[in-house]
Amino acid sequence: MSFLEDIASFPRSALKQVETQVTTPGGHILVETRVDGSFTQRPVEGKSFGFVGDVKPDFQVVEVRPGLLFGSQDVATNLELLNQYKVTHILNVATGISNVFPDNFIYKTVEILDLPGVEITGARDKGKALVHCNAGVSRAPSIVIGYIMSKEGASFQAVFEELKGLRPAIRPNDGFRQSLVNYEATLMNRNR
């Protein structure tokens, strides 16, 4: 008997029921079970995220220049805070984060993965713009650094240190850092 015939003749009653553990993008752990031909899900209590979860809200807003702010997704979902800072525009560079107040602000969404291999250099006249990503640590500060480098002719290191002084948690990933260093060289060559 061939392997295919063995599989085809295997009795379904000999299979045992299994549960599948699923970790959602938000870190919640669920157990999926098939019951009567359909799947059910139940949360697993007392389990960890499977990674270091960011469970504390981060409402720090950094105003880098007049009209240019950045922060985390928590800031972008807090209408009171956005109004307090007189935000009029929001640049959302997060992935999987929706624009919460489309009737209140002008949004631009450019989903950027926070991975070293992602190129960011391709990525305000009146009002204030908030640039945010998920944590306000890598993508948003990288975009702000590149913007300031372009507008002011400043070096990557100078702008990075300035932002680090305003928000110590920033840490553009290694690929973004390299992109910004390369962008600085491009800007210097353009200005010769």
- pTM, full prediction: 0.57
The CATH class for the domain spanning 62-190 reads alpha beta
Residue-wise pLDDT for 31-85, tens only, equals 888 777 777 888 877 655 555 455 688 899 989 888 899 898 999 999 999 999 9
Neighbours of 28 (CB within 10 A): 14
Residue-wise pLDDT for 116-131, tens only, equals 776 655 544 456 778 8
24/9 Cα distance (integer angstroms): 36
Min mean pLDDT across 132-136, 151-155, 162-166 is at: 132-136
pLDDT value at residue 149: 94
Query: In the annotation, is 13 catalytic?
Result: no
- Candidates 95, 91, 157; CA nearest to 128 is 91
pLDDT value at residue 155: 96
The backbone torsions φ and ψ at residue 74, rounded to the nearest 5 degrees and listed phi first, read -65, -40
pLDDT value at residue 34: 76
Sketch the domain layout of the chain as residue ranges.
11-53, 62-190
pLDDT value at residue 123: 46
The alpha carbon of 47 is separated from its chain's Cα centroid by a whole number of angstroms, namely 24
Q: Which candidate in 61, 133, 143, 163 is catalytic?
A: 133
pLDDT value at residue 50: 52
Sorted by sequence, the CB contacts under 8 Å of residue 100 that are 6+ apart come out as 76, 77, 79
101, pLDDT greater than 90: yes
- Candidates 145, 141, 144, 149; CA nearest to 188 is 149
